[in-house]
Amino acid sequence: MTQQPLRDERRPANEGRRAAARNRAALVAAAREVYAESGLDAPLSAVARRAGVGQGVLYRHFPDRATVATAVLEENVRQIEQAAATDGAGLADVLGVLTWHQAESAAFVGMLHAKGAAGGSAVPPYAVALSVRVERALRVLLPARHPLAAEEGDLMIAVAMVSGAVTGAGRERRTHRALAAWRLLGVDVGPVRPFDDGTG
Amino acid sequence: MTQQPLRDERRPANEGRRAAARNRAALVAAAREVYAESGLDAPLSAVARRAGVGQGVLYRHFPDRATVATAVLEENVRQIEQAAATDGAGLADVLGVLTWHQAESAAFVGMLHAKGAAGGSAVPPYAVALSVRVERALRVLLPARHPLAAEEGDLMIAVAMVSGAVTGAGRERRTHRALAAWRLLGVDVGPVRPFDDGTG
């Protein structure tokens, strides 16, 4: 009588966990698409809709906007850090990876405004923290005589300037405008591509 | 019996017109403040609240978001056009006026993204039209050997880049970042000030 149908009990639990993992992955993928198109101001309801789940499911995985945005932007920032940590990488190579992500994602572009925007306006702390990581990755590779090395804030002002130029729809158009902006700044940029750590 | 109290009828009508004019002026002033702080995405309810009128009054004067925004941005654009039309004005002088308005107003900065952002994304037509007027005013003063004269789109890409740099709160900080951006572009900018047509 105390014999419980253990397997049957375990199976639904496992299925529940698998379904939860599937939902989370679908939500992150949906958020990546929605934020890339519309920026970080896109409503969370659009993310849930794109993922094909209810808003309750979204809130169970991501209690607030910051946790969704961090899950999505973390990957952009990690690629830039990895590119910067690669043996023999120069600033131009890392700027190529940065530019790829600027062309890809309106959310990433919005994040790069964040640090500059700090001070008074409502900049989410996660965006500032991620932007600081980008700055750190670039700064270690900045040569002393680089056009962006003259004054303390120039490096990230230039990144914000390129972000300002990267508007409109379509990767080709956005890449073209980003490269025109770097050219106007007199800054060399390597191939525009995502970082490939060789494990893919 | 058909003698109507004409004066009494007229007086309320005049008072009504005066009240309407006062409301409209209060709404434009409020919209200017709200948009300067928060950009063109600020809700119209915030404009009505700041003006101290109900939303019904707002909608009576401005049937949609575009008419409010145009009423506010028109003045920024007009000052740039007037600066460009002044005898002996050079590009640097007009860029000084442009930079003053960029430091003043997040809405104006947002508008200057508009033309670049066109193509697929939801850019309001009034913003594109006003941005085109800014471009026209600047372009007639662009010397052939200017750093922004090399390629067709460079002039407005540079304006979008400076707009990208002008983030954060406070005129001093925003002006400082705008001037750093123009310096990185190698572009001379005259005194940062509003246009004074001498009639003020």
Taking contacts as CB-CB distances below 8 angstroms, the residues of chain A near B184 are 147-148, 154, 157-158, 161, 185
Whole-number Cα distances in Å, A25 to A53, A130, A199:
12, 21, 20
Average pLDDT, chain A: 87
Confidence band of A11 (pLDDT split at 50, 70, 90):
low
Report which of residues A86 and A42 the model is more confident about: A86
Residue A40 has pLDDT above 90, yes or no: no
pLDDT the model gives residue B119: 41
- Asked if B180 lies within 8 A of A113 by C-beta distance, the reply is no
Is A43 touching B (CB cutoff 8 A)? Answer: no
Taking contacts as CB-CB distances below 8 angstroms, the residues of chain A near B181 are 157, 161
Distance CA B102, CA B179 (A): 11
pLDDT the model gives residue B187: 98
Question: What is the Cα B161 distance to its own chain's centre?
Answer: 18
A168, closest residue in chain B (CA to CA) = B117
Is B40 touching A (CB cutoff 8 A)? Answer: no
**Tens digits of per-residue pLDDT, A43-80?**
899 999 999 999 999 999 999 888 998 999 999 999 99
**Tens digits of per-residue pLDDT, A144-200?**
999 999 999 999 999 999 999 998 778 899 999 999 999 999 999 999 999 987 665
The interface predicted TM-score (ipTM) is 0.85
**Tens digits of per-residue pLDDT, A102-144?**
999 888 988 887 555 444 356 688 888 999 999 999 999 999 9
CATH of domain A6-63: 1.10.10
Intervals of chain B under pLDDT 70: 1-11, 114-123, 198-200
pLDDT the model gives residue A36: 87
**Tens digits of per-residue pLDDT, A80-101?**
999 999 999 999 999 999 999 9
Distance CA A134, CA A141 (A): 12
